Chain A
Amino acid sequence: MKTIVEPAYETPLVSFQISSRTGTVNEPLGKEGLVCHAAELGMRGTQNLSRAEFDEKIDSLGASMCFSFRRDSMALSATCLHRHLDTVFSLAVDVLSSPTLSGDEHEKLQRESLSDLDEMRDSDAALAARYFNRHFHPGYIYCRTAIGTERTISELTLEEVRELYPRLFPDSNLVLGIAGPISESDAEALAATLPASGGSALPLPDLTPPQGPSGRRLILVDKPGRKQCQVAMGHLMPAYGSDRFDALRVAEVAFGGMFSSRLMQEIRVNQAWSYGASCNIYQARGRHALCITMAPAAEVCPAAIAKVMEMYTGLHANGITADEFDFTRSYLVGSAAFSRATPTQRLYGQIQEELYSLPKGYGDGFAQRIKALDLSRVNAALAESTKPKDLCVVVVASADTALAKLETLGFDSVEVVDYTSY
């Protein structure tokens, strides 16, 4: 187990994170939601405290504690006043080492998760993200849902949860990070209270993507009564930390990562079609997606999508300009200080390096690596990695008013799905 400490004495708050290299990619096909479910169930009672007593104890200390999940990792995080750190940490130890994992709470959590799915469906932006994630590269392990579907959540068994739980946080997979008014020796003393897990680490699954689909695919998520369309479009890109990633980061920001970027200037400033328009390349251990998002009014949605596809084709063919390169590089180098400004930011950066097996100082070295780039490398990376003819385009809209106009954009395939179907 690795321990990282970020001392800070300005406030009495301490944040700690117990992270594991286990993530939702470790779920078997058809068991989507299992990792989230198992971890959440671990918070619902331990051998020492019932669920109600556990909640009461955490809250009475003014602390917060929760699990968070990524494809390749997960974490139990807590924030508390320094005077309560020992108690809160011991509660975290209980969660990891002696959860009750009761049948009653298992069934209750299944019902809660189904309600959370309902609540998610009431957000059009969340729907667009969920369906894009499902469709951007069918068959790829990252396209599985982390929170599950109605079917997979309903079919999870307590036996599966009990079998998985000890393997979520095995010693060999752990990274402990603490930020706040604490010394390294005190942090090491806390780390020593983490019990040795009897479980073995789950093997890292194959993160090689299958052959991707070709052509431009429209997935229209049909939701009645929409005045506006939520759009998410993109495709698979290289992995975080890979050779081309820094160059692509420059291109991503030049295209859609600032207010001065091409997307915002054209879609918002010039056309006034959408309040926002941006793009983002997701960071993960394996290859993940570039996703362009915007929310145009229903009547201008086809024109907005056509314009973005045209712009993306131009980006692939011509790259970014020298002016854009200089400007974006200046932005990224200057902005590096903001992602390391607080103790918790610095801590999380170091934890991420450990979880993704990146070289030590990878995050701190970001500005230097960006300074060393040149325009030809950025545009070469763009030419190799962008696939404007193979875009997945997800639109949350009302099919009765939107479908016919969207079909005129010449997609290679069109699929209409009900918004409650996934």
Chain B
Amino acid sequence: MSFTLDVESTMGKHLKVKRHHLHNGLTLISAVDKSAPILAYQTWFAVGSRNESAGSTGMAHFFEHLMFNQTKSLALGEFDRIIEATGGDSNAATWNDWTYYRNNIPAEELPMIVKLEAERMTDLLLTPEVVEAEREVVMNERLERVDDDIDGFASEELFRHAFQSHPYHWPTIGWMSDIKSLSIPQMEKFYRQYYSPDNAIIVVVGDFEEASLLSLIESHYGGIPASGVQTTSLTPEPAQVQERVFSFQKEVSSPRLLNGYKSPGQGHPDWPLLMFTSSLLAGSASSPLYRKLVIEEELASSVYCDLMPFADPSLLEISVTLTRDSDLDTVQAMVDDCIADIANDADIESEITKVRNLVETEFWSGLSTMDGKAEALGHYQCIHGDFDKLFVMADQLASVCTEDVRRVTRTYLQKDQRTVIRIVPEDEVSSQT
């Protein structure tokens, strides 16, 4: 065997997680879980929209579609048919920092899925017929998720304006003009560069024998050469020193308000503290922002606060859907007041205990399925180079204190570091920076 085992850990009460490396750079994370006769098999590639360039945005997402098509030995549609014939399902997701391909299959089908996944890592065929058909599908997907979807539109605008140099500026699905113009030579170059064993992590969770898995992986992936992919050097986003506000008129029943505060990447020590703070702000019915805007003042029908788990500095988003006729300025002022209270003198000791329990429940809820376990392991390995950071993160979240929350609130939730998107159903539109 040409594998090296470098990490063993425990997930839950008795699930052993192991990490192996193959000689060509392929990383394998495995966890045997015999609670059901199925398994989750995921392939994570360290490629996302961050690896694209202006003029060719949407490439990684386009590949998410292309990878289900023709290979040297698989006819068009055969990949899906083979998996569906077993009762399994297959899908994929693309984001800023990664793309992953997931399969949920009956346990006895492990040899089949290893063969299929190895095949499309190295022998994908990019024919004009396939590419043009998928181009239309991707354009339709964009219409559905962004152009005719108010929340998709607002989110895209938030990142477009918040980031001016970093690739987080463009959406994962890509600009429509780029989707229309991506060429096959561009795609082939992208494929050879990024879809290789030294840029991939395979995560397998489920009912299998470890020795069989290692043997199958070596047999099917061992002959695929590394591409020598280098870490992309990205232009850092310059510090934001002034609030940016943009308003749009759309066909909506309810106004929307999005605030995006510049925040650290997930590997930064402040990330878990800020994550905790976002949950404290609006993560439950009794959270200060939800209680104020939705329950007490009835100015909003929903409030969410999310910190993006990105590799590079990103955004903490506060999104509010207002009730009909509510005033955006009034809601913005209340959001600001709530943040100021937490940063300064509000008594938040009881909130700290509450959020500790909430994040613990969320942590375990995310690991309730084999697919969920594999996704968590794959994300942390891909972003941090170490799946074990998943458990470190859980420990960090459990030890956050009041002073941590106050400090990160003062540091990051600053007006001059935020971008504001306002969606209004009325006529008055203004745009200012």
What separation, in Å, do the CA atoms of A268 and B85 have in the docked complex? 20
Q: Taking the complex as formed, is B368 at the interface, i.e. its CB lies under 8 A from any CB of chain A? A: yes
One of B104, B285, B367 near A59 (C-beta < 8 A): B285
Given A13-B364, A228-B147, A296-B140, answer yes or no on A340-B301 (Cβ-Cβ < 8 Å).
no
Complex Cα distance, B147 from A297, in Å, reads 11
Q: Which positions 330-359 of chain B face chain A at CB distance < 8 Å?
A: 350, 353-354, 356-359
Inter-chain contacts of A389 with B (CB < 8 A): none
Q: Are A224 and B251 in contact (CB under 8 A)?
A: yes
Q: In the complex, which residues 301-323 of chain B have their Cβ closer than 8 Å to any Cβ of chain A?
A: 301-302, 321, 323
From B16-24, B31-39, B215-223, give the one contacting chain A: B31-39
Stretch with Cβ within 8 A of A (4 or more), from B76-84, B114-122, B196-204, B258-266: B76-84
User: Which residue of the partner chain, among A10, A12, A223, A332, contacts B87 with CB atoms under 8 Å?
Assistant: A332
A396 to B88, CA, bound (A): 33
The A49-100 residues at the B interface (CB cut-off 8 A) are 51-52, 55-56, 58-64, 79-81, 84
| From B137, B250, B357, contact of A272 by CB (8 A) | B137
CB-CB < 8 A to B149: which residues of A? 123-124
Asked if B324 CB lies within 8 Å of chain A CBs, one says yes
Beta-carbon contact of B85 and A331 below 8 Å: yes
Is B212's beta carbon under 8 Å from chain A? no
CB distance from A418 to the nearest CB of B (A): 12
Does B229 sit at the interface, judged by CB under 8 A?
Answer: no
The answer on a CB contact under 8 Å between B358 and A10 is no
Across the interface, do B147 and A338 meet the contact criterion of CB distance under 8 Å?
A: no
Contact between B77 and A269 (Cβ–Cβ < 8 Å)? yes
Closest residue of chain B to A253 (Cβ to Cβ) is: B84
On chain A, the residues within 8 Å of B76 by CB distance are: 269
Chain A interface residue number, banded? 35 or more
Expressed in whole angstroms, the Cα–Cα distance for A124 and B372 within the complex equals 29
| A122 interface residue (CB < 8 Å to B) | yes
Residue from A226, A228, A327 in contact with B140 in the complex, judged by beta carbons closer than 8 Å:
A228
* Contact residues in B for A61 (Cβ distance below 8 Å): 357
Q: Quick check: B298 and A118 within 8 Å, CB to CB?
A: no
**What is the CA–CA distance of A272 and B359 in the complex, to the nearest angstrom?**
42
In-complex Cβ contact of A225 among B144, B251, B285 (8 A): B251
Decide yes or no whether B361 CB sits under 8 A from chain A: yes
A119, B302: Cβ atoms closer than 8 Å:
yes
Which residues in B have their C-beta under 8 angstroms from that of A327?
Answer: 81, 84-85
- What does the 1/0 interface line of A1-22 toward B look like (CB < 8 Å)? 0000000111111000000000
Report Cα–Cα, A392/B240, bound state, in Å: 53
Check A295–B286 contact: CB distance below 8 A.
no
**C-alpha spacing A8/B369, complex, angstroms:** 13
List residues of chain A with CB within 8 A of the CB of B365.
13, 79
Is B253 within 8 A of A122, CB to CB?
yes
Contact of B298 among A111, A119, A223 (CB under 8 A): A111
Contact A12 B364, beta carbon cutoff 8 Å = yes
A295 touches B144 (CB 8 A): yes
Known: A331-B85, A335-B88. A227 touches B106 (CB 8 A): no
Interface status of A260 (Cβ within 8 A of chain B): yes
Which residues 1-51 in B have Cβ within 8 Å of A in the complex?
12-15, 35-38
Check if A119 sits within 8 Å of B251, measured CB to CB. Answer: no
Complex contacts, B287 vs chain A, CB 8 Å = 59
Q: For the complex, give the distance between the alpha carbons of A296 and B137 in Å.
A: 10
A248 CA / B365 CA spacing, docked (Å): 34
Residues of A contacting B301 with CB < 8 Å?
A: 112, 115-116, 118-119
**Contact check: which of A119, A124, A258, A260 meets B253 at CB < 8 Å?**
A119
B253 near A118 with CB under 8 A, answer yes
B181 interface residue per 8 A CB criterion: no
Verify if A341 is at the interface (C-beta below 8 Å from B).
yes
Q: Residue A342 at the B interface, CB < 8 A?
A: yes
B367 and A11 within 8 A (CB): yes
What string of 1s and 0s marks CB contacts (under 8 Å) between A261-290 and chain B? 000010011101111000000000000000
Determine if A330 is an interface residue (Cβ-Cβ < 8 Å). Answer: yes
Identity of the chain A residue whose Cβ is nearest the Cβ of B360 in the assembled complex: A62
Give the complex CA separation of A260 and B368 in angstroms.
29
Given known A-B contacts A260-B84, A330-B85, A112 and B358 have beta carbons under 8 A apart: no
Residue B86 lies at the interface, judged by CB distance under 8 Å to chain A: yes
- Chain A residues within 8 Å of B, Cβ to Cβ: 8-13, 51-52, 55-56, 58-64, 79-81, 84, 108, 111-112, 114-116, 118-119, 121-124, 223-228, 258-260, 265, 268-270, 272-275, 295-297, 327, 330-338, 340-342, 344, 420
Residues of B within 8 A of A (CB): 12-15, 35-38, 68, 76-77, 80-81, 84-90, 104, 106, 133-137, 139-141, 143-144, 147-151, 250-254, 284-287, 291, 294-295, 298, 301-302, 321, 323-324, 350, 353-354, 356-361, 364-365, 367-370
Could you write out 13 A-B pairs with CB less than 8 Å apart? A10-B12, A10-B14, A51-B295, A55-B291, A62-B361, A80-B361, A111-B323, A112-B294, A114-B324, A115-B301, A119-B254, A225-B250, A297-B143
